[in-house]
Structure 1
Amino acid sequence: MPIFFEDVEVGTVEQFGSYEVTHDEVQEFAQQYDPQWFHVDADRAREESPYGGLIASGWHTAAMTMRLLVDGHLSDAATVGAKGVDDLRWRVPVRPGDTLRIENEVIEKVPERPERGLVRARTKTFNQDDEEVFSMVGNVMYLRREDGPVTDAGDNEADDVE
Structure 2
Amino acid sequence: MLYLEDLNLNDVFESRRYVMTLDEILDFAERYDPQVFHTDAEAAKQHPIFQGLAASGWHTAAVVMRLWTECFPVAYGLIGSESHLRWPRPTRAHDEIRVHVHISDIQPSKRKLDRGIVTYETQALNQKDEVLLQSSTKILVFKREFSAN
TM-score (normalised: structure 2)? 0.90
Shift of 1:38: 0.2
Match of 1:100 in 2: 97
Q: What secondary structure sits across from 1:17 in the alignment?
A: coil
Match of 2:7 in 1: 8
- Which consecutive unaligned segments of at least 5 residues does structure 2 have? none
Amino acid at match of 1:21: M
Q: What secondary structure sits across from 1:146 in the alignment?
A: coil
Shift of 1:52: 2.4
Q: What secondary structure sits across from 2:58 in the alignment?
A: helix
Return the alpha-carbon distance in structure 2 between the equivalents of residues 102 and 124 of structure 1. Answer: 6
1:69-111 CA-partner distances (Å, limit 9, x unpaired): 111123xx2145110213x100111000110111000000011
Shift of 1:15: 1.6
1:29-80 CA-partner distances (Å, limit 9, x unpaired): 111111111000111112x113221000010111111111111123xx2145
Match of 2:81 in 1: 83
Q: Does the 8 Å CA contact 1:125/1:133 hold for their aligned counterparts?
A: yes
Runs of 4+ in 1 over 4 A off after TM superposition: none
TM-score (normalised: structure 1)? 0.83
Match of 1:64 in 2: 63
Shift of 1:146: 2.6
Match of 2:123 in 1: 124
Amino acid at match of 1:90: W
Match of 2:108 in 1: 111
Q: What secondary structure sits across from 2:129 in the alignment?
A: coil
Percent of paired sites with the same residue:
36
After superposition, residues 1-80 of structure 1 pair within 5 angstroms as: 2-46=1-45, 48-50=46-48, 51-74=50-73, 77-80=74-77
Q: What secondary structure sits across from 1:11 in the alignment?
A: coil
Return the alpha-carbon distance in structure 1 between the equivalents of residues 67 and 137 of structure 2. Answer: 14
Q: What secondary structure sits across from 2:16 in the alignment?
A: strand
Superposition RMSD in Å: 1.2
- Which consecutive unaligned segments of at least 5 residues does structure 1 have? 148-162
Q: Does the 8 Å CA contact 1:101/1:125 hold for their aligned counterparts?
A: yes
